[in-house]
Amino acid sequence: MVRLGRYLLTSSLTLGLLTGAAFAQTLVDPAPSQTQTGRSTAPAGGSLLGNDTPAPGAPAAVATQALIPFEQALDQFNLDGEDGSTHLTFSLAASQLADGGALVLAYQNAVSVIPDASQLDIEVNGRAVGSVQIASPNGLKTESIRLNADFLREGRNDVTLRARQYHRVDCSLEATYELWTRIDPLTSGFAPVKRQGFTTPSDLLAVGRNSAGLTDLTLVIDGAVSPQMVNDAAPLMETLTLFLNRQDISVSVSNTPGSGPGIDVFVGTTQTRAQNAALNATFDAAAPGLSVRDGTTEGRASVFLKGNTSAELSRSLASAVQGPMSKGFQSGIFAPRSGSLQVEPSTTYTLADTGFTSRSFAGRLSRTSFDLVMPSDFYPADYGAIDLQLRAATSPGLKRTSQLLVRVNDLVIRSFPFRNTDGQEFKGKLIELPLRSFRPGVNRVELVAEVPMDSDDVCAPGRNDSGRPRLAMLDTTSLYVPPLARIGRLPDLSAFAGLGYPYSGGKAFDVFVDRPEPRSLSATMTLMARLALSARQPLNATVAFAQPNPSSARNALVMKSTNSASVAGLPLTSVGRGPSVEAGVSDEGATGAIAQDLPSPAPRDTGALLDAFRKSTAQLDEERSFKAELRDWFNNATRRFARWLNYENLDQPLAIDPQDSVVSVSQTQSPDGEATWTVVEARSPQDLLTGTNRLLQPFIWDRLQGGSAAIETANLSLVSLPATSRYIAEITDQTPGNIRRLAAAWFSDNFQFYVVMVVVLMGVFALWLGWLVPRKGVRTDK
Amino acid sequence: MFLAKLIAIPAGLLGLGLIFLPMSLQAQLMLSFAVLGIMFLGMTRPEKASFRLVTLIFAGIMALRYAFWRTTETLPSISEPINFIPAIILYLAEMYCLAMLAISYFMVVDPVKRITPDMGAPNDLPTVDIFIPSYNEDPELLAGTLAACKLIAYPQDRLNIYLLDDGGTEAKRNQSDPRQALAANYRHGQLKALCEAMGVNYHARKKNDHAKAGNLNEGLKISNGELVVVFDADHAPVRDFLKETVGFFREDPKLFLVQTPHYFLNPDPLEKNLKTFKRMPSENEMFYSILQRGLDKWNSSFFCGSAAVLRREALNTADGFSGQTITEDCETALALHSSGWHSIYVDKPLIAGLQPETFVSFIGQRARWCQGMLQILILRRPFLARGLTMAQRICYAGINLFWLFPLSRLIFMFSPLLYIFFSLEIYEANILEFASYAVTYLISSFAMQSYLYGKVRWPWISELYEYVQSVLLLGSIISVVRNPRKPTFNVTAKGQTLDRSKLSPLALPYFAIFFLLLAAALYSGYRLMTEPVASELLMIVAGWNIVNLSLAGAALGAIAERRELRRNQRLPVKRHAIMRVADKRYSVIILDASNGGVSIEFIDNAPAVDMADPLHATIELRRGGQLILFSVVCRSVHKGEGATTYGFAYAERTPDTFVAIAEMMYSDQAVLQERLLRRQVRKNFLWGTGRYVLWSFTESLRALRYSIGFIRESVVQSFGDAPVLLKTDSDPENEVIHLDPEAAAKARGTYYG
């Protein structure tokens, strides 16, 4: 797998580097200010959680350098529920190993968490390094743990955090959702004793985040920008994104290097360097090929890719990928990602494959979650189910309400009651998860075990009952992914977000940017970097500053803004990704709630409006006649049945209003039907940048689905709409088995055809038998 | 038509492929609605083959969809053996039922209605031997059957009647037990005298080898008629029996069998105890009115042991009647079908017989059928038998496999308990899935039951009969499977009476099951009320158990036996006659007749009747200018709203009296036909369900009442039947012989059939 990935990476990278647009265009706008691009310099140690308390110094007698951040995205810094855990990584250079350093964890917990009984257990590279009491409800508290070389290793180091936290006053199941601890990504990480600086590609893995909590990549282009420049730079930006393996990459295009933690990227051939005279001096100092050195400010790196031709750039990059960057890829993007399974059909996986370890649970509500990444051409329908074979045990004394809920993509799809109050052992209890609940790309699966006991009714706050486990969940609990119906069906934004489909697999496509100005280009390159991460390889894209070509057979990604005005009411500070993160934090909190994660959209369609009107003008219950109640019940039941019949989620919105959107994404077939266009559209370049950045936040990006989606202006939330119609992009598997599954899936979705076909075919057969039978045996046709 | 075939077969295969696709519940529900709609449309023209086939095929779609879903989605994982093992047993039981459903659809796809051909000129008619095999029967009942045979319209020189008595064989007469030997000798003498008096042949063989089949084969040896007719001892034929059957043999030289239905004058225990005999079609009518006609289509109608005509030539090719199993009839038919002989079924009641009256004898009869059919299945393997057509293989396999129903029925009864008491999940489905697949299938199933058998079977009656038999046939099945050659021929007891109502001696397991299901119903209710997250499966299973409980409740009615005082079964005849009382003549209508007496109504005026001094009279009947006389004595007077009915018993019963009885009861086939058709009224599902639910309550309460001895019955005194008087030519003094009713009673009630 790793070898294959490397091969694809190299080959597609080479291909990408050899392509390029033939014309150049001058930047319309001057380089954006730092504020506009969201790269404002924030003092080191600034917190994303707000309410900072001063970052503690290193432990006594140890002087440390700037923090090496954890690499994970923001949503992995949360520890929710009574027993929450997360896996983080940070990278360490060989030279820093001997002196060690300190693991710094800045955290804040919910007020509900009782301090005496709640604790955070910390493991580094599989070894316990200590526990701390969770006791910081009013602001950030920083814990620092000194680690010597014995606990550390060169390259990526694993950190496992497990928070066992209890409620102060409430022992109900619901109250467990109020329990959380947040690790601050900006002020947490590893503080090495020895400073490393940036001299090799591996050093880039330690680059810090900017004040917005993002990993900043700035492509420095001075003066005129041409598609050639962008096409030369794009493979490097994508390669760096893959190398860093961070989901919070923010790419900017600027005529000056950035400031604060981040990476400035300089790419130039002889030709393009001539067009960027101002940067010639900078380039002159760089060696040919790929080189890394310290940037202009503390914590900032500069990466140069220098060559005479585009082909030379490609070769240099390929050489770096196979050389000094190789280990970084293997330990990063190609290593098994904790909490995620990239699944293949007809294969069995265990929870251990997601990084889960067997554990006993002493609380009331256990939550185990992981991502299932389904193939991009997976057709979700009712032809099968993923078999979850539960291997677990419950203890005696559980209430009869105890159950295991399986949530997929935020919807409860199965509940399995733990009926035996005397305790029970499950040695592979089969729970079927219907394939229709899944989608191509990333699927969030949560196993929520509600295991209340009668003793919970007499709530004794602070009681530490960890010694009395209620549930043991084994990591041998398995998931069997059945043979899947495989067909490339578009539009499908979940495959787009989760796997970069249909732009993955080294397939050549075009990127059309209607305005070659910094914000549009920044949005475009950030999106391309993120797509490369989803595809797990660089894209084979050709950027052009133009409108899409309707007659082209190549797929296209279209970035466009309809006018230059910014959406009224959108705060300027939301430019870039700073404020979005705040929204993200609040969203993370919402992920723990049982209630619908995404805010319900206001009713837009006529039906919904009428429904709302009916509700607002409804008489009081006692005034209503039985007949009226019956009629309403019947109408409601009919409506629900009709929506069920059409596979409509009762909570899903009915339409997207472009006027209320910062940015919208939609997939369509190109006018001549030969290709797929994914159009990212906003009303202005500023909205395009803001909206794209919001869209790319992991919490949003992983929930992208359907045929179109938008970021709402009002609350920057995501609204996704199912595709009204789909078309077939490709069929990769033409075996009879797959054809049968496809038939089952398609007929399920279009059951009117199924019904008609069965009726007609069997009707013809029956009529023929009606003619034949009287003539067989004893004749009765006379 | 080749083109039609070219289109239809691929269409069917493609349709089948679509049916076996895993689909969403939405698709299943919509398909179910559409298919049910077309099914109901097809049911509107049952006489049209195309409509009938559409109905059957579309019902098949529902069944196949259910089977596919049941197979692919509802079974627990094999890694959970505690769930999986009972689940797979239940699954196999369901699949057995589905297989039987498919076979039954095939059987009844196009039932044949035969048109009787002309019998031919009298001189060309084949010679016929009538065999009446008997074992230990009441001579007066035999006298009735023999008299009816004597009256059959057929040239006397071509008709021979044989009473083949296995109760009076040499072996029986010389057995070591002196009491039994004496009884056999006594019986031998009596029956011999009876036959002589009635002008028929009596024969008792040496040994009782191979039971009924051996007895019939002995009959073949002592006779030489071209055709052989078999009547059970209690099966009295109508006058036109041969006229309705013999003509078929002239048309088809390869014909070996013309089978006719068995019509019964008395109720079986269920009919008697549930009081349905006068209104509800008998259990066997489904077989004789529908299934045998369906089998006839595929040349598979088979010999049912009686009321049939067989060709001697065919029997000779198979060395007579087969006796390897205890259902010699079906076995013989199988052997002859395998040899390329043909059979025909005539759907006209041409005999009237008796059913077992008590539950014990009823179960005994069914145990023999069950074991015999399974013996054939195991020993003769009809599906693999050489010489049969594929259609015949299917039909015979279906007929034999049917008798495994006790297994599936009991599995259905007990499966819900596993979930209710032990939470074993043996049927994995939520309520929406159950509604989309199982409920729609059940709807189609009930609709098809009504469509195919509605005229002859009320709703839920099949289930009731199945359950009632299943409880006690389970042991029979196990026994025959363990040792297929072990079962022996046990004669079915008939003609029994019950002096007072009481529980059957076999009642215990039915009560045990009823109380077990009742406990399960109460516990499931408790679980539903107390469990905060009552599972959908629990609701399904609780409902299922309620259905079972109703069945068990209604079945208690079958084993709570009502008293049966009637010794002789009446048949409504409505025949004009003259009654002579002293010198006066009265015009009367004979309303009904039996072996004991007649009910009459006076047309103009009636004689004075004083019960203290019973009225003696003579009744005159006329047939073809011939006068038939018999003496009667008045025993009862019933004043109705419009008319007064008088009950007369025969003053004496001589062979002539029995001829007169046969003349009254069996001269007109239409009497039986009318009585049969009168009950064949289609009842809708709701009515049937309501009736069934009512039984569940009332009959279980009645059974409970019987169990504690709370039975209010007054003693009823009745007059005994007149003795049978014989005047025989062999008697040198031509004295009258009284057939001793007591001696006969000792051996009463056990007959072949």
Q: What is the residue-wise DSSP string for A254-291?
A: ESS---SSEEEEEEE-HHHHHH-GGGHHHHHHSPSEEE
The whole-angstrom separation of Cα A121 and Cα A357 is: 15
Q: Is B644 helix (H, G, I), strand (E, B) or coil?
A: strand
Contact indicator for A381, A745 with CB cutoff of 8 Å: yes
CB–CB of A758 and B38 under 8 A? no
Specify the pLDDT at position A724: 81
* DSSP letter string, A583-599: HHHHHHHHHTSSS-SSP
Q: How far is A169 from chain B (nearest CA, A)?
A: 25
Largest Cα–Cα distance in chain B? Answer: 92
Which whole number is the average pLDDT over B395-418? 96
Confirm whether B110 is a catalytic residue: no
Q: Higher-confidence residue: A455 or A55? A: A455
**Residue A103 bridge partners (DSSP):** A145, A190
Of the listed ranges A45-59, A581-595, B455-469, the one predicted with least confidence: A581-595
The whole-angstrom separation of Cα B274 and Cα B559 is: 10
CA distances from A623 to A615, A630, A631, A637, B358 (A): 14, 14, 15, 22, 64
HSE (CB half, 13 Å, CA atoms) of B178? 0
The whole-angstrom separation of Cα A225 and Cα A231 is: 11
Specify the pLDDT at position B533: 63
CB–CB of B31 and A752 under 8 A? no
Q: What is the DSSP letter of B76?
A: P
The whole-angstrom separation of Cα B388 and Cα B394 is: 10
Which pLDDT band, with edges at 50, 70 and 90, does B29 fall under? very high
Specify the pLDDT at position B307: 96
CB–CB of B297 and A384 under 8 A? no
Contact residues, A window 366-395, toward B, CB-based 8 Å cutoff: 381-384, 387, 389
Specify the pLDDT at position A172: 84
Q: Is B572 helix (H, G, I), strand (E, B) or coil?
A: strand
Rg of chain B on CA atoms, in Å: 28
- Which of A42-63 are b and which e, b meaning 16 or more Cβ less than 10 Å from the residue's Cβ? bebbbbbbeebeebbebeeeee
Cβ neighbours of A748 in B, within 8 Å: 23-24, 26-27
Specify the pLDDT at position B722: 78
Mutation site for B-interface testing, chosen from A387, A773, A776 by largest number of B Cβ within 10 Å: A773
CB–CB of A777 and B76 under 8 A? no
The whole-angstrom separation of Cα A582 and Cα A464 is: 34
CA distances from B222 to B323, B335, B566 (A): 18, 23, 37
Q: Which amino acid is at B601?
A: E
The whole-angstrom separation of Cα B491 and Cα B137 is: 10
CB–CB of B30 and A752 under 8 A? yes
Q: Mean pLDDT score of chain B, rounded to an integer?
A: 90
Q: Which residue of B has its CA nearest to A403?
A: B533
Which whole number is the average pLDDT over A51-68? 49
Contact indicator for B205, B169 with CB cutoff of 8 Å: yes
The whole-angstrom separation of Cα B81 and Cα B94 is: 19
B528: contact with A, CB 8 A cutoff: no
CB–CB of B11 and A758 under 8 A? no
Nearest CB among A755, A758, A770 relative to B54 is that of A770
Which whole number is the average pLDDT over A597-617? 47
* DSSP letter string, A749-773: HTHHHHHHHHHHHHHHHHHHHHHHG
The whole-angstrom separation of Cα B270 and Cα B357 is: 9
Q: Is A458 helix (H, G, I), strand (E, B) or coil?
A: coil
Cβ neighbours of B299 in A, within 8 Å: 777-778
Q: How many CB atoms lie within 10 A of CB A337?
A: 18
B18: contact with A, CB 8 A cutoff: yes
The whole-angstrom separation of Cα B505 and Cα A781 is: 52
A768: contact with B, CB 8 A cutoff: yes
Contact indicator for A299, A260 with CB cutoff of 8 Å: yes
In 3D space, the residue among A563, A513, A564, A557 whose CA is nearest the CA of residue A539 turns out to be A557
Nearest CB among A384, A429, A759 relative to B80 is that of A429
Specify the pLDDT at position B729: 53
- Residue-wise pLDDT tens digits, B35-78: 999 999 999 998 899 999 999 999 999 999 999 999 999 998 88
B643: contact with A, CB 8 A cutoff: no
- Per-residue pLDDT at A565 exceeds 60: no
Q: Mean pLDDT score of chain A, rounded to an integer?
A: 81
**Residue A388 bridge partners (DSSP):** A431, A479
Q: Is the dihedral of CA B374, B378, B379, B381 positive or negative?
A: positive
- Residue-wise pLDDT tens digits, B378-390: 999 999 989 999 9
End-to-end alpha carbon distance in chain A: 72
**Residue A429 bridge partners (DSSP):** A390
A421: contact with B, CB 8 A cutoff: no
The whole-angstrom separation of Cα B237 and Cα B309 is: 12
CB–CB of A744 and B21 under 8 A? yes
Q: For A252, phi and psi rounded to 5 degrees?
A: -120, 150
The whole-angstrom separation of Cα A681 and Cα A530 is: 17
CB pairs under 8 A between A and B: 171
Q: How far is A423 from chain B (nearest CA, A)?
A: 13
Specify the pLDDT at position A713: 87
In 3D space, the residue among B267, B273, B266, B268 whose CA is nearest the CA of residue B558 turns out to be B273
The whole-angstrom separation of Cα A195 and Cα B644 is: 125
End-to-end alpha carbon distance in chain B: 48
A412: contact with B, CB 8 A cutoff: no
Specify the pLDDT at position A43: 33
Which pLDDT band, with edges at 50, 70 and 90, does B731 fall under? low
Q: How many CB atoms lie within 10 A of CB A205?
A: 26
- Per-residue pLDDT at B580 exceeds 60: yes
- H/E stretch holding B703 reads helix B685-707
Cβ neighbours of A766 in B, within 8 Å: 50, 53-54, 56-58
CB–CB of A430 and B80 under 8 A? yes
Cβ neighbours of B252 in A, within 8 Å: none
Domains annotated on chain B, with CATH: 1-73 (no CATH), 79-107+358-567+689-722 (no CATH), 122-355 (3.90.550.10), 571-678 (2.40.10.220)
Contact indicator for B132, B166 with CB cutoff of 8 Å: no
Contact indicator for A561, A514 with CB cutoff of 8 Å: yes
Cβ neighbours of B79 in A, within 8 Å: 389, 427-428, 430
CB–CB of A428 and B79 under 8 A? yes
Contact indicator for B9, A771 with CB cutoff of 8 Å: no
- Per-residue pLDDT at B642 exceeds 90: no
pTM assigned to the model: 0.84
Which whole number is the average pLDDT over B682-699? 93
Cβ neighbours of B297 in A, within 8 Å: 777-778, 780
Of the residues B240, B268, B329, B592, only one is catalytic, namely: B329
A740: contact with B, CB 8 A cutoff: yes
Nearest CB among B23, B51, B53 relative to A748 is that of B23
In 3D space, the residue among A777, A779, A771, A776 whose CA is nearest the CA of residue B298 turns out to be A777
The whole-angstrom separation of Cα A712 and Cα A690 is: 12
Cβ neighbours of B428 in A, within 8 Å: 430, 432
The whole-angstrom separation of Cα A474 and Cα A428 is: 10
CB–CB of A751 and B110 under 8 A? no
- Residue-wise pLDDT tens digits, A635-675: 888 888 888 888 776 566 666 777 788 999 999 998 888 89
Of the residues B166, B232, B347, B592, only one is catalytic, namely: B166
A432: contact with B, CB 8 A cutoff: yes
Which whole number is the average pLDDT over A277-292? 81
Q: How far is A338 from chain B (nearest CA, A)?
A: 28
Confirm whether B166 is a catalytic residue: yes
Contact indicator for B284, B306 with CB cutoff of 8 Å: no
Cβ neighbours of B50 in A, within 8 Å: 766-767, 770-771
In 3D space, the residue among A777, A776, A773, A774 whose CA is nearest the CA of residue B342 turns out to be A777
Contact indicator for B216, B303 with CB cutoff of 8 Å: no
Query: Can you read off the two tokens belonging to residue A758?
Result: 């069965």
Contact indicator for A305, A313 with CB cutoff of 8 Å: yes
Query: Can you read off the two tokens belonging to residue A488?
Result: 């490339």
CA distances from A260 to A1, A237, A434 (A): 36, 19, 48
Nearest CB among B53, B532, B533 relative to A773 is that of B53
Specify the pLDDT at position A407: 95
CB–CB of B76 and A430 under 8 A? yes
The whole-angstrom separation of Cα B26 and Cα A647 is: 8
Specify the pLDDT at position A672: 84
Contact indicator for A556, A678 with CB cutoff of 8 Å: yes
Cβ neighbours of A752 in B, within 8 Å: 30
In 3D space, the residue among B621, B657, B618, B639 whose CA is nearest the CA of residue B739 turns out to be B657
The whole-angstrom separation of Cα B619 and Cα B147 is: 18
- Per-residue pLDDT at A45 exceeds 70: no
CB–CB of A777 and B48 under 8 A? no
Which pLDDT band, with edges at 50, 70 and 90, does A512 fall under? very high
Q: Which amino acid is at A641?
A: F
- In this structure, are strands B571-581 and B616-623 parallel, antiparallel, or unpaired? antiparallel
Cβ neighbours of B432 in A, within 8 Å: none
Specify the pLDDT at position A2: 39
- In this structure, are strands B308-311 and B227-230 parallel, antiparallel, or unpaired? antiparallel
Q: Higher-confidence residue: A194 or B158? A: B158
Of the listed ranges A267-276, A337-346, B403-412, the one predicted with least confidence: A267-276
B299: contact with A, CB 8 A cutoff: yes
